[in-house]
Structures are given as structure tokens and as C-alpha cells.
Structure 1
Amino acid sequence: MNRKWIATLCVFVSVQCLSWLDSGVLGTGYVNTVAADEYEAFTEPYRRINVSSSEMGVITDLKVREGDEVRQGQVLAQLEDSLLRKTLEVSRAAKDAVGGKTAAEAEVVIREQQVQSYRRLSTQGNATPRELERAESDHQQALARLQSVTEELNVRALEYQRVICQLEQRRILSPADGVVVSLAKEAGEFVSPTDPVLLQLVQLDRLKAVFSVPLRRIDRLSEGQTVVVRVGGSRRPVVGTLEHISPVANAESGTIRVRVILDNQKKDLRSGVVCWLDLEASARSLESKRARVGANLLSPAVR
């Protein structure tokens, strides 16, 4: 009888304790510190770029190291280009060779003078129509030769510009502002079409965090909305912008991926730390903003 009574008492106490835990009666030390309307993720670089080379060749100079901050358009590496520089000199010489054009222009002047002379003689009856036609034909041929030489010089100028572009492609430029986080190649190594990556660059002036939000909460969110994100172990509140809501839900978890952007111009937020999307604080912030906008729309007399 005593054993039965003791067992019944134990069950009653267990149920009561569970009830107290759920209601928070036993104190905050036993209650989950994360609110029910918060969703966890990790901060990430806004962009992660594998900088590659469109040309193959040996790296003669690697101008950055891990941790360096770079600007868009900054030279990151240089490929071997001695042969192209010689080709550029040949192209420049060919482009600047105008002797053929000068000779063709002189011939055009002579042929034109001959035509004028035969026309005067023809009006005086001292030249036959056949002689005049031959002079005009020679003039047209001289014009054609001048046109041919001019077109050839234009092609040489384009060839010169092409070599300049090829030389530019031997320089690897930064596609964006960011920080170098890893090097895949060193000076002296060969860059091939099958292995073109030189380094990895991350953009840290903005961070992103991708949260999985339950379907029942998604109606409270919209793209472009200002939200509150708590970052790191100190749960520092940071204002972010909801950049994208996935149009497709995850059927297994019943959630939708939401991407939030955090401004990090001061570089005071670290990438790769835990963060929480606080929907309750975001809703309060949105309501406060709407209230301020509504107050500003009122006239001074109404206020």
C-alpha cells in the first residue's frame, strides 16, 4: 500500500514540476533565453568570389596576401607577358607605317591631274575619247589602291588594340571591394583552363544571414522590410533589411528561407557568428515607424 502511494506521489510531483518549468515558475535559470519568435542562423559574407584568370600562363607577380583589403579594379596578380609585349611593338610599327598610304595619295593626285588635262585637250579636239576614258580609269584605280591601303591601316590599328586587350587580360583585377581570405596559387605557378582560380575574395561591407522561418510566421514579413537581428553571444541588436523571401517552401520542415542583409561599413560585425531574427522586435519597430509616419502626415492644427 505504501509503495503504491509513494509511486502515485512521484508521478504527481513530476507532472507538477513539468508544469512549473513550462510556465517559468522555477525561475529564469530554467527557462530558454531565446524567445519563441526568434530564428537562428549565422552571418555570412555578402559575396564570396573565386577570382579566376581568363588566360593561361605563369604567375610572375602576386600582389596581395591573405587578409589584405582590396578595391575594385586593383591589380591582384600579373601573368607572364613578355611575348605579348614584343607583339605589341610589332603591331605598333605596322600601325604607324604610313609610307604606302603616302605613295597612294600621291598617285591619286597625279592621276587626277592627268584626267583634268585630258578633259581640256578633249574639249580642244586634241585628245580622243578613248584616251580620256583611260585616264579616268587610271584615276579610279589609284583611288581604289588608296582605299585599300587605308583599310589595311585600319586593320593594323585594330590588331594593335587587340594586343593591348590581351595584355590587359594578363593582369588579374579585383572584381569588387573586399578582403582576400585565401590564396589558391603562388608566384611561379601555372594557371590553366582546368584550374583557373587564383584566390578567394569576400565582401564584408555587408553581411547576410539566411533564416528558416515557419510558414505560419511568413505573412508578417515582406521584402524590403526593416527587421531586428541579434548578433553574437551578447545578442547585440542590429537593424537589417529583408532582401529576399524564397517563393518555395521546404515541405519537410514547413519553413521558408529568408535572406536578411546587415550593413557592416564599420566592419564591427564578424562573419560566421550566430545570430537570431527577432520577429517580435521587428514587428514593434515596424509599428513604431508607421506611427511616426502617421504623425508626420497630420497637419499642425490637428496635432
Structure 2
Amino acid sequence: MVVGLPPRPGLCSVDSGIRAITRPSADVIQSFVQPGRIAAVHFKEGDAIKAGQVLVQQDDAAERVLLAQLKAQSEDTTKIRASDASLAQKRVDLQKLEKAAASNAATALEVEHAKLDVTIAELSLELSQFEHDQAIRKYEEQTIRVEHMQIKSSIDGWVEKIEVEVGESVNTTIEVIRVVQTDPLWIDAPVPLSQAVGLRAGMTARIEFPGSDKKPQIEEGRINFVAAVADAASGTLRVRIEVPNKPRRPAGEHILVNF
């Protein structure tokens, strides 16, 4: 007796449709880039989210104290102003000595020392400016570190899975949260080469979804990608179809595709 196997995606005839499976148009698993303790989880599984919203927050109290300190240092220009004032005074002293030397009231050595003082004061001002620039960069670096202690959504979608709890310590290898976008859905259909050669991005496709009363539900999709390399073993070409999903059908359904 031969036992029949369930059909695999892409193995039914072209006349009845090409079997495929829907998937999210975006599926993002996010982790933290540095170890830490979870301070807050702002959403629960199944919640709708928008791009840019903070999903999970690490405890950043100590990092924010350091950030405030570095911010104050980056805004402090005291050393620059002091160096600038010192340089201005050294230049005035040099001018006076040069006038005095012109009337033989100061020696050449004194003038040379005054010139050296001006040079040192100029270098001191440059050093103060450099240190100030470095303080700004350290503040910017710490700002980025604090931002990295939050996980923000990169897409509009839904929270599919949360892997952590408040108070838990995590490292960079831990998957924290999974976010998916299922409107639109994507379908990667393995289309026979004989049919795929005429397909182009922008063309429409007819998608048959399973219906609740055993009647298929028909939706119209649009091709947004046709692969450039065929699968030699199956003689098929991957064609991606995008289908609107306002009813929020789950990804992972077996469907039929017709062109």
C-alpha cells in the first residue's frame, strides 16, 4: 500500500494554482547591544506598535548620572576662555617689550622669552579647544550608550513574542523581543520556469486563502520581486507577492497563487 504524502509548496499543477505559504513582510528579533537588567517592558504580546516606540528598557540610572556629568563638561568653556585671556595678555606683554627693545629699554633675550610665552599660550589655547572637543565626543558617545539601553521598534507591526521579564539580567546573546508586520503579507511562490518567464514586478496575482465555510477567500496581490536565479533542482523561480492584510490573517497559512 502506498501512503500519500501531504503536498509541498509549489508542487501542485499550474492549472489549480501554485502552493505557497504566507509570511510576515517584516520579522524582526531584537536584542540589547550591552548587558544589563530589564527595568521595564512597555508592551505585551499581541499589542500593536509603531516604529520608534520604546519596547523594552534596561536600568540606565548610573549611565544617566554619567551622561549628566559629561554633558556639563561638554558645555563648560572655562578652560578655553582662560587660555584665550592668557594668550591675549601674553601678546600685549610682547608688544610692550618690543617697543621697549626699540628704545633699548629691554634686551633681545627678554623679547625672545616673550615670544616663547605667546607660542606656549597659543598651544595652550589649542589644547583647551581639543579637550573641549573631546568632552563633546564623550558626551555624544554616552548619549548613544544610553539610547542603546532601550529597544525601539524599527517597524509598524505587532509584538509576537517577549522573551524577558522585568528584573531579569540579560546579555547580548539573549533574544529579547520579536516584532512582526503582517500587513501586508508576503508570499514567496516557487513558480515553474515556463510560467515565471512572463512575470514582472508590478503585475497582479490571485491569491486563494482558506475560507471559514470551506469556500476559498480570494484576494488580489501584487508582484514586488522576481528572482534572477532559478532553482535548477525543481525548475522553479522564486516570485514574491505582496498582499494587503487588513483582516489581520495570520502569517503561515497555506494558500494557492494564480497569475
- Scaled by the length of structure 2, what TM-score is found? 0.85
Q: Deviation per CA, 1:59-111, whole angstroms, max 9, x where unpaired?
A: 11000100111111110011011221221233234334444333322221221
- Give the unaligned 5+ runs of structure 1: 1-33, 280-303
Aligned residue identity for 1:230: E
| Aligned match for 1:151, one of 130, 137, 145 | 130
Give the corresponding residue for 1:205. 183
| Aligned match for 1:238, one of 192, 200, 219 | 219
> Counterparts of 1:83-162 in structure 2 under 5 Å?
83-162=62-141
Number of matched pairs: 244
Preserved CA contact (<8 Å) 2:182 2:248: no
Whole-Å separation in 1 of the counterparts to 2:106 and 2:34: 65
| Aligned match for 2:255, one of 252, 275, 278 | 275
- Give the unaligned 5+ runs of structure 2: 1-12
Greater percentage in helix: 1
The answer to which structure, 1 or 2, has the higher relative contact order (CA under 8 A, 6+ apart) is 2
RMSD over aligned Cα atoms: 2.1
Preserved CA contact (<8 Å) 2:58 2:150: yes
Whole-Å separation in 2 of the counterparts to 1:210 and 1:96: 54
Give the corresponding residue for 1:20. none
Give the corresponding residue for 1:50. 29
The verdict on how the C-alpha distance between 1:83 and 1:219 changes in structure 2, with shifts beyond 3 A counting, is same
* Residue 80, structure 1, aligned to residue 71, structure 2: no
Whole-Å separation in 1 of the counterparts to 2:220 and 2:192: 21
Between 1:100-109 and 1:182-191, the stretch displaced more is: 100-109
Whole-Å separation in 1 of the counterparts to 2:249 and 2:98: 87
Between 1:248-257 and 1:78-87, the stretch displaced more is: 248-257
Larger radius of gyration: 1
Identical amino acids, percent of aligned pairs:
27
Whole-Å separation in 2 of the counterparts to 1:165 and 1:128: 56
Between 1:115-124 and 1:216-225, the stretch displaced more is: 216-225
SS in 2 for 1:247: coil
Deviation (angstroms), 1:36:
2.0
Preserved CA contact (<8 Å) 1:235 1:275: no
